Amino acid sequence: MMKNTDKRQRILIVDDAKLNRDILKEILGETYNYLEAENGNQAIQMTADNPGIDLMLLDINMPQMNGFEVLKLMKQSQCLDETPVIMISSEAAVDTNA
């Protein structure tokens, strides 16, 4: 039986555009183990199912639930207490007055 010996840090990429997720993985390279979510609900579920995520890259502009709403829910459920989050956006101008 093969044991999972993957010691790479885990990064959760949350972006509704697959192309953006693929670009981020290409930029960051094979040093990391990637988890992907295409919306806020998936992201919340993934953090619950995968404790110990080392970093989350969170898109600001997504349908249904934007990045700030995701952060608010995760903060309330305390599932992000130990996880650094970097907000990302492919938009030229982003209104951060959430």
- Residue 33 is assigned to a structural domain of this protein: yes
User: pTM of this prediction?
Assistant: 0.84
Sign of the alpha-carbon torsion through 93, 85, 28, 42: negative
Q: Are 56 and 11 in contact (CB under 8 A)?
A: yes
Query: Does residue 27 have a pLDDT over 70?
Result: yes
- Structural domain count, the chain: 1
- Residue 98 is assigned to a structural domain of this protein: no
- Residue 82 is assigned to a structural domain of this protein: yes
pLDDT tens-digit readout, 38-82: 999 999 999 889 888 999 999 999 988 999 999 998 888 776 678
The CATH number of residue 60's host domain is 3.40.50.2300
